[in-house]
Amino acid sequence: MKIAFHVFIVGIAAILSANVSAQAVKESGSTPSGQQTHTLQREVPHKLQIQYLLFLPNGYEKSSDRWPLILYLHGGSLRGEDIGQMMKLGLDEKVEADPNFPFIVVSPQCHKGEIWTDVDALGAVLDEVAGTHRVDRDRIYVTGHSMGGRGALYAAYKMPDRFAAVVSLGPVGPITAWAEKLATVSLWLFQGQNDQFTPLKEVEELVHAVELAGGHPQLTVLPGRDHYILDVYDRPDIYKWLVQQKRKHLSTSD
């Protein structure tokens, strides 16, 4: 499979303006499926620059259907500028090995020294991909492991009307104050029983808080496992569950 990546470059407007400009450029010779290279320029409230991988299933070009999309947030060890290393772990590794994986997958790379808190950047990536590809906007999901597991929860907390479901693996430092908004999104958490970075009790407290807020989260505790549970992405039941989840329309916006 051809390896490629996207680059987001976002600048501050010289004057206050609501206008948005975007440009997507494909490399010549790139294949219609797999991971492709794009460059995007767009004005948002603050200056951003982010790279991301985009995976399109083999059947994408042959179909006129709209496809479900997974936003995948990596863990802390993959922060930086070498986006190629992301294809060696987690969901990115899985789609590299399986060109028929039946989801569009968007995988941004977090800058060194940062965590997944810039929801403006994540929202801009989703807007670009959904605006230029056949995405089912009612079946957009977010997932991640460790720092990315926390980031997936935070993204859903900040943008609950964007996502149909969250799958969070070993989230570091989950916050119970997010429960009210997380209760509006389908939620499945996976946690190693012996996680050395996130005590099981913290995840159980989040689940309980979401339940009190009216949600119905699922928690799967993996007996004897520690923090490193990326093999969860090999479970077919996750993807069967995901495609059954559809966005709850909390507002009129996409």
* pLDDT of the residue at 48: 83
CATH T-level topology, domain 53-243? Rossmann fold (3.40.50)
Name the residue among 164, 205, 207, 210 with its Cα closest to residue 189. 207
Listed residue (207, 73, 210, 75) closest to 143, CA to CA: 73
| Token pair listed for 84 | 């190629």
Is 90 exceeded by the pLDDT of residue 119?
yes
* Mean pLDDT computed over 154-178: 97
SS3 content of the chain, % helix, strand, coil (to 5): 30, 25, 45
Q: Are 30 and 2 in contact (CB under 8 A)?
A: yes
Q: Determine the pLDDT at residue 43.
A: 61
Place of tokens 């990115």: 92
In the structure, what pLDDT confidence band is assigned to residue 6 with cuts at 50, 70 and 90?
low
Structure token digits, residue 180: 């009210």
Listed residue (1, 2, 18, 13) closest to 47, CA to CA: 13
Residue spans per domain, the chain: 53-243
User: Higher model confidence: residue 1 or residue 59?
Assistant: 59
Calculate mean pLDDT across residues 174-197.
97
Please provide the average confidence, as pLDDT, over all residues in the chain.
85
DSSP state of 144: E
Write down the pLDDT at residue 69. 98
Query: Which of 110, 109, 127 shows the shortest CA–CA distance to 44?
Result: 127
92-106 tens-digit pLDDT? 999 999 999 999 999
Please state, in angstroms and rounded to a whole number, the distance separating the CA atoms of residues 220 and 89: 21
pLDDT band at residue 210 under the 50/70/90 scheme: very high
Q: Which residue did the predictor score with more confidence, 221 or 25?
A: 221
250's CB contacts (< 8 A; 6+ apart) are 160, 161, 184
Contact status, residue 111 vs residue 80, Cβ threshold 8 Å = yes
Of 139, 124, 135, whose CA–CA distance to 51 is shortest? Answer: 124
Q: State percent of the chain over pLDDT 70.
A: 80
Asked whether residue 42 carries a pLDDT value surpassing 90, the answer given is no
Residue 16 reports pLDDT greater than 50 = no
Angle in degrees, CA 109, 112, 118, rounded to 5: 60
| pLDDT at residue 20 in the model | 35
**Using 50, 70 and 90 to split pLDDT, how confident is the model at 47?**
confident
Cα–Cα separations (whole angstroms), residue 218 to 69, 124, 165? 21, 29, 11
Residues in contact with 98: Cβ distance below 8 Å, sequence separation at least 6, in sequence order:
none
